[in-house]
Structure 1
Amino acid sequence: MGRSRILVEPIPNEPAARIYCGDELAVAIADYHAGIEAGLRYERGVELESNADRRLDRVCSLLERTGADRLIVLGDLGHRIGEPTGAEKEELDTFFDTVLERVSLTLAVGNHDGGLVAEYDSRPGVTIIDSAGGLVGDRSVGVLHGHTWPDPSLSKAEIICMGHEHPTVQLQDTVGGTRVEKVWLRGTFDRTTLFDNPKGACGADQAITAFGSVELVVFPVFNERSGGTWINVEGQAFLSPFLPDALSEGHAYLLDGTRLGAYQQV
């Protein structure tokens, strides 16, 4: 991308990345979905033992291994839409207590997070970025969940990070067996789809600010029990209002770093 420094660096074999935020090192994840087991029980009648402890252990391990100063969650920290209660509330309380003992926390609000912001935004060490996103560190990195149109301020970023999509691929081996794998999507962000779309918050009434060369990174889902958008299965559609148009030239990567090629052709 013509950039001489690394700003976002995926952590091998993890659905997480290092983000270099000026003087801070952050670990970023997307779509934690605390309380998903309670949500699945309510929504679908599916009974699963809670993985809350394992989810949190994975986060703490990432923070310890990287020596991070901050955790950035790219939306959907919680699972159920609305005020968290019961098992989800207990998991979120423990999550905030445990993480904030170690590092600061930034949450870019997702479509599942509206009910938890009021509960946790006043805690010391917590920074809330609204659903349209914002800039972090030295303002070189933009973060948002991805369910709404980005704020025009993200035009100043060199790279934009988002979640929401839970991108996955279905791969087939030589004997016809298939498996599903989480993937990263990464490529050039097409600013025209953002600023020229009259339906977006950054629509035609906004002054068009040149992005220059901006990279977009779509994070894999952190939660192991949450479904995904199968990017190479016919009939699947993106969830974000600006995808796939804003990522017309992007590649898919497995968590181990294997490049699968142009995501439209995987």
Structure 2
Amino acid sequence: MTAVEPVPDAPAAVVDADGRRLLAIADFHAGIESALRVERGVNLDSNADERRERLQALLADTGATELVVVGDFMHSIGGPGGAERGEIEVLVESLSVPVTVVKGNHDGDLGEWAAVDVTDAAGVRIGDVGFAHGHTWPAPEVLRADVVCVGHEHPQVRLTDEVGGSRVERVWLRGGLDPVAFAGQYDAGELPDADAAGDLVVFPAFNDRAGGTWTNVDGRGFLAPFLPDALRDGQAYLLDGTRLGRYDRI
């Protein structure tokens, strides 16, 4: 049985695949506060403890026996600073489950010093679920999975009420995977046929300070090289499960 089910009110999903129960998150961006201070002059207290406790609670509540980070466990693109490295080391040591990180564009040399398994940037397939961060082209075997999970995008929508007030909400994006979006990157026969392709799920960022792509606002382009073309009839869902409809028509 293959299932990728978002956890209600959380930027995380439970994945049942290959007889394993995984908790999957994307874009943790450990130590982001230090980077915001240096890069943008924004001073924020660290939320490292809150992020760790939230993740521990999700693992306990879901009964997951493994954690998969769908890229960008780290925040700095170069070598990690002290706060960032410290947050990851304390977090990993506090967890009682193995951690797999699907290498993202921010994960640098993570595998050389953290007690985690780091995959190739092209992603990994576990049973019938494929995982890739999304900053580069996924491996063909990942794209042939029943469900393909990606991060990188930090999808958000801007919602406006009748009196002009607005707010930004993190969302999930889910739709059919369109192989045509990948056709120029792979040899014939490597991609699934259009009628056999699975679903594509774009994860919201776990870290609510990481910003994101406003998917329903003109001029805010997607970051992944295959989006939005690869997302067929993509629907947007709030973290509480509310379906907003087509992400591009909200």
Coarse TM-score class (shorter-chain normalised): over 0.9
> 54, 70, 73: which is aligned to 1:77?
73
For the 8 Å contact 1:165–1:228, the answer to whether it is kept is yes
Q: Taking structure 1 as reference, are residues 206 and 129 closer, same or farther at Cα in structure 2, changes over 3 Å only?
A: farther
Residue number in structure 1 paired with 2:136: 148
Distance 1:205 1:65 in 2: 43
Identity of aligned pairs, percent? Answer: 51
Q: CA offsets per residue over residues 52-75 of structure 1, 9 Å max, x none?
A: 000000000000101110011000
For the 8 Å contact 1:105–1:127, the answer to whether it is kept is yes
Do residues 42 (structure 1) and 32 (structure 2) align? no
Distance 1:232 1:141 in 2: 27
Structure 2: unaligned runs, 5 residues or longer: none
User: Offset of 1:206 from its aligned partner?
Assistant: 5.2
Give the 5 Å matches for 1:43-192.
43-99=39-95, 102-120=96-114, 123=115, 126-136=116-126, 139-192=127-180
Q: CA offsets per residue over residues 193-251 of structure 1, 9 Å max, x none?
A: 11x12xxxxx2545443251310000001101110100111110000000011013110
User: Offset of 1:254 from its aligned partner?
Assistant: 0.6
User: Offset of 1:155 from its aligned partner?
Assistant: 3.5
Q: CA offsets per residue over residues 68-111 of structure 1, 9 Å max, x none?
A: 10011000001001221211111111011112xx1111110100
Do residues 239 (structure 1) and 223 (structure 2) align? yes
Distance 2:189 2:107 in 1: 30
Which is further off, 157-166 or 208-217? 208-217
Distance 1:227 1:209 in 2: 32
> 195, 210, 215: which is aligned to 2:199?
215
Distance 1:46 1:228 in 2: 17
**Structure 1: which amino acid aligns with 2:117?**
T
